[in-house]
Structure 1
Amino acid sequence: MRSTATSSFRGLYPPIETFHEEYLNVSDGHKLYVEQSGNPNGIPVIFLHGGPGGGTSPTQRRFFDPQKFHIILFDQRGCGKSEPHASLENNTTWDLIKDIEAIREHLNIEKWAVFGGSWGSTLALLYAIVHPERTNALILRGIFLMRERELDWFYGGGTGALFPEEWSRFKNTIPHHEHNDLIAAYHTRLTSDQIPQKEQLMYAKEWSLWEASTVTLNPDQHSRTLSVDPRFALAFARIEAHYFKNKGFLDNSNYILDNCHKLQGIPITLVQGRYDAICPPVSAYELAKEMPWTTLKIVPVAGHSAFEPAITHELICATDDL
């Protein structure tokens, strides 16, 4: 395990266009937006976005050398360009793992590298635990293990102690008597048929804005603006609340740490911001302790976002090293 200390940061690769886009029919009426870019004969790598419910963007292609990598992005169930939009039906962690395998089989890829941040790191770890034989390498950022204590940190006041003005707005949107479980309170308002759509959208924007307000070390107006886009916010908030209310659909809160020994032999790089207020470094540290073959890179001056310069630098270096 080592810390990053560099004054010259690598930046994202130049923008690139896709060479193929499609909708893949998977189970239960869901259609996934899947795109490919880079070198079709290169090293296959699949990008797993955050949230759950965050969707992908063209910028995320740029973490990879387009001459070296066959870059695959997809929007998970219910978000981004995938259909039906904001759907919670048959939308669980285990459905997503099956979807990743469906994409791999559809593209006739034997093994690939898996790249994910935040919830994408959770999903990447779980996918690799279930399918280690299909995983060449893991590059993970902003480690989130879907433990109850991590949810309590972000939705129970831990992050709120660092961002008190944003926390006050997020918390006080809900009546005081429900403050003991804000995930459940928002979940009800985001999913109940008794709540008018306009009101659901208001709660969705509040949920989304809370996360966007805490994602970077320095305030990021672009993230805040994107977070309240109606289409984005509705999918993001509904799907996140759905997953978090159900504790990620895992058997127990320690599921990943209990099963990560199954990843023995897979090269793994963890990139973690020292001042990540959403996913504090303790989770990355504890995961690396359970997997001593892992490379843990603590970035001294960074929060949670993949697009903070020092985080981007370490992710680019990690992909280049594959």
Structure 2
Amino acid sequence: MRQLYPQIEPHESGHLDVGDGHHIYYERCGTPGAKPAVFLHGGPGAGISPLHRRLFDPDRYDLILFDQRGCGRSRPHAEVDRNSSWHLVSDIERLRTSFGFERWLLLGGSWGSTLALAYAQAHPSHVTELVLRGIFLGDQASLDWFYSFGASEIFPDQWEAFCAAIPPEERHDLVAAYDRRLTTLEGAAQLRLARIWSQWEAATVSLLPDPARERSAQDPDHAIAVAKIEAHFFANKCWLRPGQLLEDAHLLADIPGTIVHGRYDICCSARNAWELHRRWARSRLHLVEGAGHVFSEPGITDRLIEATDQYAASWAGNRELMAKTN
């Protein structure tokens, strides 16, 4: 199986003022002038990691990574004001123009796949390819699966702890109940709820338990950003109309793409990947056996790097052909 590329460091990093009081942290890695690409992290509310740089061949990609509004090293931290799906789509476009890219590849997993689809459907002429992992459609069915009934049947022990933080009379809408508290509480009370929210996610994302991931999910900055921003986005249905990303899949008609989804992904049903593939003619679907949600599952890593390698080779071949023609 393909492995992550060796560790690299960004050759440029900084903060971009995107307006509304937000400054997003970005990194530029790889080779300037090579194939342009942008990585979209999950959550919403998580952030980029040095591991994400390693999904791309640094000799063949000019790669941008960034922490979305309120995430990671972006400022202000965990801010939900002026922070919506469409603010983030605008930020991606601002990054593209800032770096002078005409078109680029997008790689996004989980919430990152949602954001990649929203951007590509809004700006199809600026997208060369999509590489999507762990498809989350931001629709009511996806939210119900993870926060109402579905994942709860597979992780009843973790689900009981997640529900216990909310009074019984409010458990009919756990997302709204958490959102109300996370946006009004402060200090220790807010952190306690944020850690419970973050623990539910961390315990369910991989095929097998990962104690290190669960410990890192309890980090105060991480837990508050993930819980507060996710609850905010999900309480607002990600600012998508019902079924939007599937209904508008025809807008991807000229964009080739690769969909990678773990067969045993508990966070995001494999049905999401299947339905998207059915509506997107130029997509290739890989349902990875023996894998859950996270990109570090060996089979998922293998397929993601296969895709980025293939699209880099196609880009290089096209450039060589154009050079000979000219």
Q: If the length of structure 1 is used for normalisation, what is the TM-score?
A: 0.95
CA contact (8 A) 2:18 2:94 kept: yes
Paired residues in the alignment total 311
Is 1:227 equivalent to 2:217 in the alignment?
A: yes
5 Å-filtered alignment, 1:66-215, equals: 66-192=58-184, 195-215=185-205
1:29-55 deviation line (CA, Å, top 9, x unaligned): 100101001111211110000000111
Of the candidates 284, 308, 319, which is equivalent to residue 297 of structure 2? 308
AA of the residue aligned to 1:161: E
| Cα offset, 1:157, TM superposition | 2.6
| Cα offset, 1:196, TM superposition | 3.5
CA distance in 1, matches of 2:242, 2:146: 16
Q: Secondary structure at the match of 1:44?
A: strand
CA distance in 2, matches of 1:69, 1:35: 13
Q: If the length of structure 2 is used for normalisation, what is the TM-score?
A: 0.94
Of the candidates 306, 310, 314, which is equivalent to residue 317 of structure 1? 306
CA distance in 2, matches of 1:190, 1:112: 36
5 Å-filtered alignment, 1:38-57, equals: 38-57=30-49
Task: Look up the match of 2:261.
Answer: 272
| Cα offset, 1:304, TM superposition | 0.3
AA of the residue aligned to 1:240: E
Return 5+ residue gaps in structure 2 as ranges. 312-326
AA of the residue aligned to 1:316: I
Is 1:247 equivalent to 2:250 in the alignment?
A: no
| Cα offset, 1:291, TM superposition | 1.2
AA of the residue aligned to 1:48: L
| Cα offset, 1:200, TM superposition | 0.6
CA distance in 2, matches of 1:260, 1:67: 32
AA of the residue aligned to 1:26: V
5 Å-filtered alignment, 1:32-43, equals: 32-43=24-35
Is 1:293 equivalent to 2:282 in the alignment?
A: yes
Identity of aligned residues (%): 48
CA distance in 2, matches of 1:44, 1:280: 30
1:48-105 deviation line (CA, Å, top 9, x unaligned): 0000011101110000001111111000000100000000110011000000010011
AA of the residue aligned to 2:216: L
1:234-263 deviation line (CA, Å, top 9, x unaligned): 11110000000000011x220111111011
Following TM superposition, the consecutive aligned residue runs of length 4 or more in structure 1 with deviations greater than 3 angstroms are: none
CA contact (8 A) 2:253 2:281 kept: no
CA distance in 2, matches of 1:157, 1:171: 12
Q: Provide the alpha-carbon RMSD of the alignment.
A: 0.7
Return 5+ residue gaps in structure 1 as ranges. 1-8
CA distance in 1, matches of 2:248, 2:180: 32
AA of the residue aligned to 2:90: K
CA distance in 1, matches of 2:102, 2:283: 23
CA distance in 1, matches of 2:305, 2:280: 22
